[in-house]
Every structure is written in structure tokens, then in C-alpha cells.
Structure 1
Amino acid sequence: MAGLVGALLSGFVDALFERLASEVVNSLFQGKTGIPELLNRLEIQLRSANKLLNHADEKQLTDEDVRKWLDDVREVHYEADHVIDKINYEALRRNAEEGEQSGSKKRKFINFMPKFYSAFDNTIKSEIKEILAKLDPLLKRKDELGLTEGVHQNRPQRLLAPLVDACDIYGRDADKKAIVELLLSDHNGGRKLSVIPIVGMGGIGKTTLAQLVYNDSKVQDHFALKVWVTVSEEFDVLNLTRQIIEAITSEKCDIQEQYRLQDELKKKVMRKRFLFVLDDVWNENYVLWNALRSPFDLGADGSKILVTTRNETVALKMGTVQAHTLQMIPDDDCWKLFARHAFDNRGSGFRGVERDLAE
């Protein structure tokens, strides 16, 4: 499963072009050239972009250029949706109007409409060409951004939390402050490496909190190496080690043997203070965790691993400090969050609700 953007868009193209499959819509451009060919090209290009979403979702957490690329792809999808809405509406409108005409009135109606129809066709052609003009360069950037198709398709994944801005988060200031203090602390209880678990039920905001902390300017400046890995259900030591190496080097790692992989990771972290985020961990097998963490001991004092999990047993086995248990946010903050999304950050509606909650 792709990340959040991928999940939202992966089924988008199928749904989008299913709306063009009706007999009414097909009759709209019957016998014409130009628009059907443009729509076919648009579908092919959108499907090509969707094949890159899995990899882009993984890279966006640590690569600002990929994050911007995903935003641009999402905007293109929305523009395509708008154009196809217009096509559907026009097809239904014409079908209804022509159905109401009869006899000589129908002939007069048909004779009157070609100019109008031609104007609509030209507008749609222009809008599709504009979308393709935006989409084509995005697809050409895949090599520059290091994006490949179908990355990690066989590895179970979950929906990622959306990338967050601190001003859009409610009720987590105290949680963020507590985690940041732990990360910046040089006291690791006599250990070089400290593992900090964030525990809470699904959907409560563990990943969102981890993102807030990971992107905090003080945290960014404090660590020489920073890596984010989404683990999910399959705790594959080789694959996770390889992902960490690739994140550090920004290069593909083809090493297959465990000893060589771990030796390579030891070299990358040696005497460097690092922060690794292991997001959505389910594994309770301490042997696997111990195998993954063994190269980390060569890092500099003050290195940290931040783990998010729903499972208290996982937190107990992995953590070197008491787990930070995430609670529901207060009711007032729930309402503020609801109001922001309900009103889509627009107009006086959201401001009015936020003002009322503050009073």
C-alpha cells in the first residue's frame, strides 16, 4: 500500500476514467479527433506518475524536492478531475437538451449549436494540453529525484501520516517538548545509544508527533545523521539495514549478505551522533531487534533511536527509557482540529469557530 498521497491517488485514475466510459460521454466526442487522443495520453501519463508514488512517499520525509514533486503531482490530479467533471456535465447537459427537442425545433436546435459545441471542445483541448504540459516535466524528473517504479511493493506498508506543519497541530505541544528534551539530552543512562518509544493506539498521532520532532530545527542541528524508516509488519533485518544505508548515502545498496551489510552500516555510523526513526514497529522478537541494532553501538555518545508502536511489549523490549504514551488530545483541541479541516482553512467559518472555542 502506498503512503498517504499514494493511497489517495492510487485508485484515482481508475475512478477518473471510469466516469468517461458511459455511453453519454462517449457520444460527446463521437466521430471527432483530438480530444479522445489527448484523454488517452493523459490517462497513460497519470498512470505512469502513480507508479512512482510508493517510492516518493518513502523519500518525501527527508527530501524536500520529492515532497514538492508529490504536491505538484497531486495538483495535476485535481486539475484532471476538474476537467473530467466538466466533460461529464457537458455530456449530460447536451443529452438532456437534445432529448427535449423534437421535429423542426430539434433541427433548428442542432443547427444552432455547432458553434457552441466547437467552443467547448476547444476549451477542453486547451485545458488538457495545459495539464499535460505540467505532467510531462514531472515525469521527466524521476531520474533526477531518484524515483523508481513499484519500490517495495511486496513489503507490507500502511498509510503514512501527512507531512505536517507545527501550526496545523493541536494539543501536542507538551508531547513534542518532552520528546525533544529526551533527544537533545546527553544523558543516556550510561549507554551510548538511547531508544525512545512512543506508544499509542492506531490513528492517535504517533507518526505525526514523530514528524514534528524529526523536523524540529534544534533536532536537525543536533544530529550528524538523521534517517526515517517505516517498518510496519515485516521486520526484515536485511531490508531495514539496507534502507538505512541508502538513506545515509543517497545511493542504492546492492549488498545481500548480512555480515557485509552490517559492517557497511558500522562504517557509516562510526563516531557520528545519529537519530534514526523506526516508525510503526510491530515486531516482538528481541533477537531480530538485537540483530538490527548491533551496528548502532559504534555511533557517538548521544545517538538516539525514536520508535513508534501500538504495542507496549515492543516498547518494553526495544526501549532504554520509559515509553512516552500518547493520549487523546483535549476536547477543545479536537474541536479546533475539526473546524480547521471542516472549513478547509477558508473563510470566516473557521475563524469564528476558533474564536468561540477560545472564549
Structure 2
Amino acid sequence: MLRSFVLACVLFSASASAVAADACPRLRGQAAAADAATRIAAAACDENLQWYRPFIDTQGRLASATVSEAERARLEDGATETWRRTAGYWRDTGLLQRMAGFAGAEQCFDPYGSAYSTTACRAFLIDNPWSAAFVSYVMMKAAVPGFRPSASHYDYVRDAYRTPEQSPFQYLDPAAANPAVGDLLCAVRSSTRVYGHAGLTAALNGDGGLNMHCDIVVAVNPDNDGKAYLIGGNVQQGATMRMMAVNRNGQFWPLPLRSETQVECSPDTVSACDMNKMDWSALLKLKPDAALATLAPPQPLYAPQQAPASEPQGCCVQCVVGSGVPRCPNPNVPSVRPQQE
């Protein structure tokens, strides 16, 4: 009996430590913190908590995922459907206007309209990666000076490399840098080659662009559990936390890098399956607050429109004159749209 009691205490203690290592529950209430790093972490953590805390463990396994990007399922607040939240990342950052040529983008301005607009918007959210819109949303919500929102991660990686005096970030090699709260860990997404830091740097010196993905660092615990905690959008169709190992110096160790010769993940090669193994090519280091204060003022989010008390029924978008069916309201289109870059 005593042995069982001691074992239970040990397991409870270990469980409590694991829960405590996730900083998001305590960071959530610090959206108005004085320092930019804490505001960034608080904004990212709030999204992860809203999505019921999906996460990938240090072994690269998806350990928890409750809802998906274009579902009607409601988030933690009990009111917001997941697809409306995803559309908000596009809409509230002003990036939806830049996607005007893509099918379904226009309907995402009208999430309380007809069944047609709802379906078209949800299709847009599935068809178009929204991870950069998510990062932009977090940075704008955290009021980070000098940050320029973009639908492409490559744009703010390029800004940090080419115009470091205007960017809120320093461009570093993730294999040698010490990640900290507010930083971005970025990977190149290519099915034909592995770039690494040197390859990405060469690309940034030329024209064109690359498909990329960036996660936001929200905690680094070298002396606690030896893990870094990062949050990204459109990771397994949600706002998902990624846990990665760090050494005593606070560096990623080992940095789980994709290789051109690696064995592909399959049911026959389970040991090769690792969702953390990517072509991590850059760490964007958030500058100190004193340096941030010298940059361009932060771009504010569009003020979110209040949803109607109940969704209108029996309205139309392409209305027929004389049909008697009312036109669907369009409450979420900003009165003034920003110029595209």
C-alpha cells in the first residue's frame, strides 16, 4: 500500500511538472505586458488555448488535436466556429484584400451571409495556407513595431536579412542561435531540395521567393524540462504548439533537420516519422524593446465587427430583383482598405 502511494505521488508530481512547463496558461493574461516578447507569447498562447491546446511532442508526434481549420465546431470560448476564427486571421490583418483573386476570398468578408458564402469561404481557408496570416495576426495583436504583415513568411524573413535596420528581427542561423520568447523559427518548404541556412541566405540575395513556414517561440526552459515551446498556425490544421528539445545553453539540441537522404515516413518506417523534422533555415531574433522603439509604429488590427445576435436566414448574395429575399448583410468589410505592397 505504501509503495503504491509513493508511486502515485511521484506520477502526480511528474504530471504537475509537465503541465507547469507549458507557460501558456499563465501567459494568457499578459496581453498588455510592457515588453513586446511577452505580448507576442501571450497572443500566440491565447490562440493555442482557444484551439484546445493541440501540440506536437518532442518526438515529432501529434499528441493532441481536437478541431480543424474549416469546421463548424466551436472553439474554447463556446461561441466562435473554427472556420470563422481562421477567416479572422486573414481579415483582421488586412491580408484578405491581397487574396482577392483567389476563389472564396471575397466571401470570407461576409461570414454571416448565405450558405453559398459560408461554403466558399471555408473552401478558401482549406485551399490557401494561413500560417503567415496567423503570425501576422499575432505580431499585430502584440503591437510589434516595424512588423509588416504578409501572406508569405518569406517577406518578413527577407526584411530581416535585407533591411535589418527596419525589421523587428535579426536574421540568424538556427543551429547556432539561442531561441528566446518572441523569436520566429522558420523553415523552407520544398519537395525538391534542402536549403539550410546557407541555401536560404543565397536565395535571399536573389530575386523571387520561397515557400516557408514560421513558428513563434513562446517559452524556452533549459533548466526546467529542457524544452522550447513554439506555436504556429496551419500546423495540422490548427493553432498548434510544437515542443522541441534544447540543451543547457538554451540551444535547439538536436535541431530536427530534414535531410534529402532521409527515409520517408510510412507505416513500414515508423521510426522515420517526425513532424518536427523540417528544413529549419532561419531564426528571426526579436530585437530588444529599446531597439524596437526606434522602428515604424505598429500596424493595428482592424477592429473586429460584432457578430449579429443570430445568423440571418433566407438571405441572398446574388439576389433576383422582385424575389422578396433580403440581401445578406456584409458587416465585416473594412470601410477603408489598405494599399497593397
Same fold at TM > 0.5: no
TM interval, short-chain normalised: under 0.3
The structure whose RCO (Cα within 8 Å, separation 6+) is larger is: 2
Structure having the larger proportion of residues in strand: 2
Greater helix fraction, Structure 1 or Structure 2: 1
Larger radius of gyration: 1
